[in-house]
Structures are given as structure tokens and as C-alpha cells.
Structure 1
């Protein structure tokens, strides 16, 4: 007997019990660095990796789009740092550190959190369907 499957329906993997609400991951990634700073600049690479693993374990149909968002976000942040590096090279180094460095930090954080936000919004729909299907399976 064939069953009807919604096109956006997640196809859970073996580790589906590790799936977490993507919004909770987003908030954890925002507030944990105030209490603990992960080594090796972990506050920048752990959140996207965690969200991608969450999507993979959930079997999200938007997984490829999320990988693309992470790749574009990484390229964008790299371009931002290269652009500011070129600015620093062309201007006086002291002027750059005094005037432009705070903007670099703000823009880098904004780009990082915007990337995370895009991933979370892509993952929110499949997560709700996954949660609903899991509740339905538990009730049967």
C-alpha cells in the first residue's frame, strides 16, 4: 500500500532523536558566547554546523538550500574581511583601526546572524512537520 507523502515532509534519518528546534539553536548560539567562548573560534563555525546537522538528521527537504546559504554566508564574510583588508592597506593603519574596525565587527556579526536567521527560517517549516509527525506516531 502506498502512502501519500507531502513534498515538504521531512524524511527522518537514523539520528532523528537528536533533532532540536532550530529557533532554540539560534538562541543558544546568541547567548552562550556571553557565558563561554568555544575554542578555535567555535562561536562562528559550530552554529552553522549544528543547524546543518539538525537539518540532515531531520531529513529536511531544504537541506541543500541551507548548505547553499552557509556557503554564501561564508563567502560574504570572507569578502567583507578582504574588503576591509584592502581598505586598511590603502589608508593609514591607525586611522583604520580607530574608525573602521568597530564597523567591521558589527558588519561581521550582522552577516553571521543574518546567515543563521536564513537557515533557521528555512528549517522552521520542515521542523514543525517533523514534530507533528513524531507526535502522531507517538499517539498511535
Structure 2
């Protein structure tokens, strides 16, 4: 009879465990390229490293889209009610950016604990700088191709 010892918060890397990156790279890609790259990268990284909080991370990542839509609809309603003017709308849209960055920072904080354990116990860690730099230079072109220039989709994925 053998007993197994298991740490509850120990990450369990999956088959893609060799593709794990430091969570700072998805956070920076969210800031520099947009949600189209940063949010899916957070989810992928979470499953690749076997993060113990991957369900929370996935739910939080999925909430980016409805939260952005809700903020966009509220701002549109405020514009129709003439609480906001067309000249104040760009300033109000900063709230949408803040929402996405706040979710990204929350994802980073959730993932950082599992990543630290993954790294400490000898897990493979890749450098995400190449993807980040490529997204900085090609991100707007990729976003335009993904959305076809539709303003609502640009706000959602940007």
C-alpha cells in the first residue's frame, strides 16, 4: 500500500507544459497589443502550467467580453441621454481600457502563484518576448484583419 502526498496548490503541467511563459508576458501583450492576444494567452498559459486557479482564471477571462460590451452599451446610453457629448466620449472610453487592464492584472496575480511554484520545482519556462515584440509591431494589422475594421469589434478585441 503506497500513500501519495499531494500539495493542494501544486500546479500539474499538462502536455503543453513546455510552453509555459511568465505571466508578465500575457499581461504586457494585453497592454501593448490588446485583449485579442493577452486574454487567450492567459488562458492557454493557465492550462499549460496546470494552474490550480485555472477555473477562476478562465471565468475571469471570459468576463472580459460581456464586461466590455456592458460598458460600451452604458456609454452609448449616456451619449444618447446627452450626459456625455461626442467630445467627451474618447475620455469616457478610457473606462473600457481600464476594465480590460484591471482584469489582466487580476489574471496576472492569480497566475503568478502557480507560476512561481512551477518555476521553483523545475518546470520549463519559455521566453515570451518574441511573441510580445511581434504583437507590438504586427498587432494593429492582425486586429484589423480579425475585425474587418468594425468599430465595435475593435473596441472588444483591442
If the length of structure 1 is used for normalisation, what is the TM-score? Answer: 0.78
Aligned match of 2:111: 123
Unaligned runs of 5+ in 1: 34-42, 136-140
User: Alignment length, in residue pairs?
Assistant: 122
Note the C-alpha offset of 1:88: 1.9
Q: Give CA-to-partner distance per residue, 1:30-78, whole Å, 9 cap, x none.
A: 24x4xxxxxxxxx222100001000001111101001111233322211
Alpha-carbon separation, structure 2, partners of 1:67 and 1:25? 14
Mapping 1:3-18, distance limit 5 Å: 3-18=4-19
Mapping 1:1-140, distance limit 5 Å: 1-31=2-32, 33=33, 43-91=34-82, 96-104=85-93, 106-134=94-122
Alpha-carbon separation, structure 2, partners of 1:85 and 1:128? 42
Unaligned runs of 5+ in 2: 124-158
Alpha-carbon separation, structure 2, partners of 1:44 and 1:120? 14
CA RMSD in angstroms comes to: 1.8
The structure with the larger Rg is 1
Alpha-carbon separation, structure 1, partners of 2:68 and 2:26? 21
Alpha-carbon separation, structure 2, partners of 1:3 and 1:126? 21
> Higher helix share goes to which structure?
1
